[in-house]
Amino acid sequence: MQAGFNLQLDETEVENVFEVPLEFVLDVRNHLPRNRSIAGHTVITHEIPYEGRQIWGATASMLIAFARLLREGQG
């Protein structure tokens, strides 16, 4: 992370912070579908695993939507 940049984490929202290369996040092969049970219903979500960590939930959804937007803008 950039020197002099201090983060204040809200631990009710995020467990930790780490950097991931943009190329990795944009690569659709790294967007893995996962079945999750929510209130008794199975839903498909996505995760982006990186070096033993998991990007999931809203963060993964936003990054995958961003990657899709960039791909569609190239065509």
pLDDT at 64 over 80: yes
Give the pLDDT confidence of 4-63 residue by residue, as tens digits. 778 888 888 888 889 999 999 999 999 999 998 989 999 999 999 999 999 998 899 999
Question: What's phi and psi for 42, nearest 5 deg?
Answer: -90, 125
Q: How far apart are CA 17 and CA 71, in angstroms?
A: 26
Q: Indicate yes or no: pTM above 0.75.
A: yes
pLDDT of 69 above 90: yes
Q: Where are the domains of the chain?
A: 23-74
55 three-class SS: strand
Report whether pLDDT(75) > 80.
Answer: no
- Please tell me the total number of residues recorded for the chain in this structure: 75
